């Protein structure tokens, strides 16, 4: 009887270990829906949306965009804005919402910034969803039009 109990405990422990290890190995497909990125009156970007496919992992959402200011010489000095919402906890179905506002873009001499996007997302806001697993970090990038 003791031998059967010991074997059962060992098998249960091994199964738990394999299940936990597999959870870090299985690729989750993170999706973004209902995403919007708008320019605020303070020259910031405000992006929000719904994430699915997070599993039980928390996520960090970062929003990045470049901007340009047209000066009197017709040149466009570049800049960049970014903002992050950390520790987003998904619900029991692996879904979560986010709302991130970047720092403000500022231009000299009362010029208005024009958001230009990033190299990965030209003319659009780049939204990076990062998840930390025990053995790696996974980042999924989305490009969202700026209105």
Q: Are strands 31-39 and 45-52 parallel, antiparallel or unpaired?
A: antiparallel
Domains identified in the chain and CATH numbers: 29-145 (2.60.40)
**3-class SS of residue 28:** coil
pLDDT digits (tens, 9 = 90+) for 50-62: 999 999 889 999 9
- Give pLDDT, residue 79: 85
The answer for residues whose C-beta is within 8 angstroms of residue 96's C-beta and 6 or more apart is: 50, 51, 54, 59, 88, 89, 90
Rounded Cα gap, residues 56 and 44, in angstroms: 31
pLDDT digits (tens, 9 = 90+) for 91-113: 999 999 999 999 999 888 778 88
- DSSP letter at 91 equals -
**3-class SS of residue 80:** strand
Of residues 147 and 13, which shows the higher confidence score?
147
- Give pLDDT, residue 3: 57
Token pair of 84 as six digits: 């992050």
Counting Cα atoms < 13 Å in the Cβ hemisphere of 47 gives 30
Cβ atoms of residues 51 and 29 within 8 Å: no
Distances in whole angstroms, Cα of residue 100 to Cα of each of 24, 26, 43, 46, 62 = 27, 28, 14, 6, 7
pLDDT digits (tens, 9 = 90+) for 19-46: 444 445 566 699 999 999 999 999 999 9
Confidence check: pLDDT of 17 > 50? no
The partner residues of 122 in beta bridges, in order of sequence, read 117
- Give pLDDT, residue 9: 46
pLDDT digits (tens, 9 = 90+) for 63-99: 999 999 877 777 777 789 999 999 999 999 999 999 9
The partner residues of 106 in beta bridges, in order of sequence, read none
6 — pLDDT class (breaks 50, 70, 90): very low
């Amino acid at each position: 009887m003791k031998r059967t109990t010991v074997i059962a405990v060992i098998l249960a422990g091994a199964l738990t270990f394999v299940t936990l290890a597999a959870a870090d190995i299985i690729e989750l497909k993170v999706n973004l829906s209902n995403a919007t990125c708008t320019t605020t009156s303070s020259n910031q970007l405000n992006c929000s949306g719904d994430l699915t496919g997070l599993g039980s992992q928390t996520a960090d959402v970062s929003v990045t965009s470049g901007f340009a200011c047209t000066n009197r010489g017709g040149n466009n000095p570049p800049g960049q804005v970014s903002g992050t919402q950390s520790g987003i906890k998904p619900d029991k179905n692996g879904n979560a919402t986010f709302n991130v506002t970047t720092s403000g873009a500022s231009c000299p001499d009362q010029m208005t910034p024009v958001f230009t996007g990033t190299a990965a997302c030209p003319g659009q806001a780049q939204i990076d969803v990062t998840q930390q697993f025990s053995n790696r970090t996974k980042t999924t990038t989305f490009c969202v039009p700026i209105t």
